[in-house]
Structure 1
Amino acid sequence: MIEINIKHQIFTSSGNQFLEINEQFEEGSIIHVSGDSGIGKTTFFKIISGLIAPDSGLITVNNTVLTDTKSKTFLSPQKRDIALMFQHYALFPNMTVKKNIEFAQKKKDEEIINHLLEIFNLENLKNAVPSRLSGGQQQRVALARTLVQNARIALLDEPFSAVDPSMRKVMKEEIVKTSINEGVTFFVISHNENEFEDYTHKKLVIR
């Protein structure tokens, strides 16, 4: 079980607001995260992943405490077993497509990398650097790099915004398969309310 009870002040164009989340999520589920632009969805991801600390609150995963402001417990991002796919991809500019994906693996597995290169239609681009790729191609690399980490939790920030419908379907199917087969919990930010309609175990609307 994943328990998130946090409160954090955010600064928006319409003034200061509080991001408040008090929810429990089953491990191995897919959670669709939505809300207006600037409401704090990306900040929420940064708090879960340990990039920033909330003003107050508690985050636990299967009774392991990641953050507890009362006891001043705060695990570093490296110790959280959480993969984060940024909205702007954050690929290493001097690494090839394949090297970007390989770098993220904790335990090297060439078969998984080759599988992702093939199904995401990146095989012929595996030796290219990110600057030679389109936005959609970079997005596919970023998702592949996230999936190969085989983390307990994966946070995907608008993972399909730059790809065409056919590739969007392939990417979604791979996420669902990973959730089912590997027990990975996915939090997916998407403005498409029906993005995971057939698969989402829970919807989290941030207001």
Structure 2
Amino acid sequence: MLNLELTHAIPGPDGLLPLSVALTLAPGERLALYGPSGVGKTTLLRLIAGLARPDHGRIAFGDAVWCDTARRIHTSARGRRVGYVFQDYALFPNMRVRENLAFAQPVPNRQRLDELLELTRLAPLADRYPQQLSGGQRQRVALARALAQEPQLLLMDEPLSALDPKLRVALREDIDEILRQVALTTIIVSHDLGDVFRLAQRVAVLEPGQLAAIGTPRDVLLPPTPSGRHALSGVVLAIEPADVLWRVTVAIGNDTLATLSADVEQLRVGAPVAVQLNGSSAVLVAG
């Protein structure tokens, strides 16, 4: 279980802004950090990972106290058993895929490397260099390398932001399946509602200086249904049974729309969708 309560000054438009956050994650839970740029999402990951020190506060994982400013405790990043997937992948360009993973292992274990390569579908690419891989493949290498550290906690900073929409949807499903199998306590930073709804069980919404809300993505992020008169592009957030029909919730920009549909066979959570509005009704067409 991860427990943290901290305050830390971050740069703001008018000087330093105090960030104050208190969070508890259950073992194996996946939490998304969501909010606009500049509110401290990546900073919070760095504080948890030990890459930065909070001004005040405490961070503990299980019985291990990683940071306690009052007691002047600060465990180094190496001592925290945290796997970190960086936004820019941060792979070693002079190392092949297998070598990138092996470098991260605390104790060499070839069998474990083979398992990770199979889990992330990288076995056929094990002897390639990062520059020989696509963006989606590099992201899977970054995730596999983080898992090779045998972490207690996995941190992912905007893991899909550099990918085009179609690749993003496909890799989102890959990451969801991998995270289900490893069952690690995970924190994911994302600006994308599709990522939040597909990859997280709970979401913490950060606003300038504070944790504004925390709960399931559905409870926190689904405001009243907007209305409109023309076709819009969106992302499917949820598909739920509603008597003999299905209730489909779609993100459209910063708004959401919920509509009933008889046919959802072509729709997937996290996938793009076209919304054709006609008065009070809506027709959904898979993107």
User: TM-score, normalization: structure 1?
Assistant: 0.88
Stretches of structure 1 lacking an aligned partner (at least 5 in a row): none
- Structure 1 CA distance, aligned partners of 2:125 and 2:61? 37
Q: How far, CA to CA, are the matches of 1:67 and 1:81 in structure 2?
A: 14
Change in 2 beyond 3 A, CA 1:177/1:14: farther
The 8 Å contact of residues 120 and 167 in structure 1, kept in 2 or not, is answered as: no
Q: Confirm or deny: 8 A CA contact 2:196 2:203 kept in the other structure.
A: no
Deviation digits for residues 103-155 of structure 1 (CA, Å, limit 9, x no counterpart): 11224443443344345443333222222333222211101111222211010
- Greater Cα offset, 140-149 or 114-123: 114-123
Structure 1 residues 165, 42: closer, same or farther in 2, change over 3 A?
same
Deviations 1:139-187 (A, max 9, x none): 11101111222211010111233244223211211012211xxxx2100
Whether 1:173 and 2:177 are equivalent positions in the alignment is yes
Q: Which amino acid aligns with 2:181?
A: K
Give distance in 2, aligned partners of 1:12 and 1:83.
28
Q: How far did residue 98 of structure 1 move? A: 1.2
* Superposed displacement of residue 194, structure 1: 4.1
Work out the CA distance in 1 between the residues paired with 2:25 and 2:14: 30
In 1, Cα distance between equivalents of 2:157 and 2:205: 14
Provide the TM-score with structure 2 as the length reference: 0.65
Greater RCO (Cα-Cα under 8 Å, separation 6 or more) = 1
Matches within 5 A, 1:50-65: 50-65=50-65
Q: Tell me by how many angstroms 1:2 deviates.
A: 1.6
Residue 44 of structure 2 is matched in structure 1 by 44
How far apart are 1:196 and its partner, in Å? 4.9
Alpha-carbon shift at residue 91 of structure 1 (Å):
0.8
Amino acid at match of 2:88: H
2:37 maps to 1:33: no
Alpha-carbon distance in 2 for matches of 1:177, 1:170: 11
Larger displacement relative to structure 2 (11-20 or 117-126) = 117-126
Larger radius of gyration: 2
1:100-179 equivalences under 5 Å are: 100-161=100-161, 162=163, 163-179=167-183
Gaps of 5+ in 2: 208-287
CA distance in 1 between partners of 2:121 and 2:75 (Å): 36
> Does residue 97 of structure 2 align to residue 97 of structure 1?
yes
Verify: 1:191 aligned to 2:191, yes or no. yes
Q: In terms of mean alpha carbon deviation, does 148-157 or 13-22 score higher?
A: 13-22
| 1:146 alignment partner, SS class | helix
Measured after TM superposition, the shift of residue 75 of structure 1 is 0.5
Q: Secondary structure at the match of 1:44?
A: helix
- Can you list the C-alpha shifts for 1:18-56, whole angstroms capped at 9, x where unaligned? 221112121221111111112111110110011110111
Of all paired residues, the percent bearing the same amino acid is 34
Match of 1:68 in 2: 68
Q: Which residue of 1 aligns with 2:262?
A: none
Give the superposition deviation at 1:14. 5.0
- Where 1:37 maps in the other structure, the secondary structure is coil
How far apart in 2 are the matches of 1:123 and 1:170?
15
Q: Secondary structure at the match of 2:106?
A: coil
CA distance in 1, matches of 2:87, 2:14: 23
Q: Whose strand proportion is higher, 1 or 2?
A: 2
Larger mean Cα displacement after TM superposition, 36-45 or 187-196: 187-196
